[in-house]
Amino acid sequence: MNTGGAVNGHSIFSASTKLYAPNSSQSPPLKTRFSSTASTPIKIKDDLAALLKDELGKSIIQDVPGMLEHMFSDNSLPVSVENVVAQLGESGKLLDTDNGYSWSRNMDILAETTDRSTGKQEAAAKAFLNEICAFLIMVERTDGTKRPNTEKARTWTTVTQAKPLSVGPADVKPDLCLSTVKDSDMDWKHVLATIQLKSSASSAKVYHALQQVTGDAFMALSAQDTRRFYVGVTINGFDVRVSKLIALECFVRLLIGLTLGSTKLIGYDSTITEQGGIRCVTVEGGVYRLIRLVSRSRSIGGRGTTRWRAVLDSDPNGKLYAIRDSWTDTSRLPEASLLRAVEGIKEVPQLIGSEKVDNNDGRDITESIRSVVDKDLIEGIATRELWRIVCTPFAEELCNFSSKRELLSVVGIDAINAHRDMVTLKKILHRDISEVNIMLYHPLTQHSDNDSGITAVKWLLLDLDYAIYFTDNSWVLAVGHRTNRGHAPYHDLESFFYVLVWIYINYAGPKIAPRQDIDLGTLNWTAVGGWINYTDLAAFKYAAFTAEDVFEENVIPLVKPYFSDLHDCLTDLRNIFYLKKKPTRDDMTKILMKHLKSLPETQYWSPEQELA
């Protein structure tokens, strides 16, 4: 039996006491892999295991001694491991024989290699685990108290045998799930932990189980916006005899932690409180009510960014705020200081407050989580810390654009001008222009439930986490970025172009209308697949954009009909970035203005057109 877990935004602890540390040393990363807004989730129909393997690369650190004891330390557990082992023996559930310790329940079925489709192995594991968990609930706690009756019991279920759980970006079927809800209500939002079963501990089966539990971690972290890290388990065969007491105690420790441990012990953020269905956070003394999840990064590596729409708890009908959590690299300038530095540029949000998230368990920084890992194994891996930032005004996702004219104006002209101001006036380079960092802002009245007062569509440039002070005013050719020779203002301009391409390919029309006729598997047949999957963004740029015939044959045909009158715009933009020696901001805005003027003032579109 193996244990472990995954940490959102930076690390994974696998089921076999293995630690995954992503390639977070890149500066900045190419992109968060499956970043997706809450309103437009991308359904992954590809091989999830392969995609996650590509994301994590060689950053998986296996067989970390002491990881389980570190995750579920004695002082963090409500009951004593030694006491539970003794009581299991007294109850007859655990037998101490001449040949070692043995569970009284026969679990040989878990090692059977035939007829694995009936679910008998999963059912047997469920019955055994729930029997032990029910016993743990009755054990007197270390402080002499009993478990409060108000706490919902955590139990194991095999509900996913019938079909994959809903509310997730992929179809994944864990063998067992730990939860507090009934089977009919189960989805990925309610999964506390999972188990993947294999009949033996062969290297192939251990690796397969490891892939599966990594997928479970990805699903849970994607679906649960208060999840900091995730604990998953694999059982590769099961011997009813446990020859060493230490192995038995590890298994008991794991079950105590998962069954009785506090929610923050198994990965949840206790600083987000909930009462009467209302969730709140406190930042620099201000209490904010979380109204809606805007987006959640669907990834294991990277920053694990989460965005909410919020109001002051004391003024629920008042001004809207944007609250964002992200795991930031401690070697960089704090984003709050950069936001203060760009004050005065109207297209950048105003900072209201920021602070480090603190659950009082040391697990809001990866340095603490990785403290049991050999230092040589994590050399070069960035240390990340969970920060929470409050800004105003609140803005909507870019995919909520109302027309092509609006999209082209917001992304291609207003954003570029603001980027110019950041570089020329503040000497700050963004370095992370993407579809999730450009948002639409409709100026409103002070009332969050009142849509009157809209004056015009504006845009906001978010996430200065990877921004730097820029001292070289030469706007070098983008080939430097494609060959990893550093980042310059020109590269941000090129990123604005890629944002437009992304929107044209992924959306069928305005007002959050994701296309329905394509998936990642389809895209993998084209040069675009490498970009959409982020397997090798630099290689994709070179392959799909450098050659005109490849661009025309592989990229343009994927653009949805709604954007067909902007084919020439994309081609013109592609030409200045890949043919012109020294393209400038003026080159780009001139092209955008030309095509903007050619667009109709209004154009009817309905979702039915996507299905036509």
pLDDT, one tens digit per residue, over 33-54 is: 334 444 444 555 457 777 787 7
Position 607 pLDDT exceeds 80: no
Res. 236: pLDDT tops 90: no
- The mean pLDDT value of the chain amounts to 79
pLDDT at 448: 45
Report d(CA 528, CA 522) in Å as an integer.
Answer: 10
Strand partners, 513: 509
Is there a contact between 335 and 464 (Cβ–Cβ < 8 Å)?
Answer: yes
Residue 129's closest CA among 254, 17, 262? Answer: 254
pLDDT > 70 fraction of the chain, expressed in percent and rounded = 76
Distance CA 188, CA 396 (A): 25
Residue 482 tokens, joined: 């494609």
Q: Answer for the pair 373, 61: CB distance below 8 angstroms, yes or no.
A: yes
Cα distances from 536 to residues 31, 54, 82, 488, 543, in angstroms, run: 10, 9, 50, 20, 11
Domains of the chain plus CATH, in order, are: 2-20+48-260 (no CATH), 270-393 (3.30.200.20), 401-439+462-612 (1.10.510)
Nearest to 178 by CA among 213, 124, 130, 211: 130
Q: Which of 248-257, 367-376, 545-554 has the highest mean pLDDT?
A: 248-257
Q: What global pTM score does this model have?
A: 0.83
Look up residue 352 and give its two tokens: 């209201």
Q: Which one has a higher pLDDT value, 490 or 453?
A: 490
What is the distance between the alpha carbons of residues 213 and 354, in angstroms, rounded to a whole number? 34
What's the rounded mean pLDDT across residues 552-575? Answer: 92
- The 3-state DSSP composition of the chain as helix, strand, coil percent (nearest 5) reads 35, 20, 45
Q: For residue 406, is pLDDT > 80?
A: yes
Looking up tokens 């649960």 gives 224
As given in the structure block, the two tokens for residue 71 are: 């995750």
pLDDT tens string 269-314: 999 999 999 999 999 999 999 999 998 888 787 788 999 999 999 9
> Directed axis angle between helix 415-426 and helix 489-506, to 10°?
160
pLDDT of 286? 98
- Predicted confidence at residue 43, as pLDDT, reads 56
Give pLDDT tens digits for 315-354: 999 999 999 999 999 988 888 888 888 888 877 888 999 9
- Tell me, what's the pLDDT at 66? 87
Residue 564: per-residue pLDDT: 93
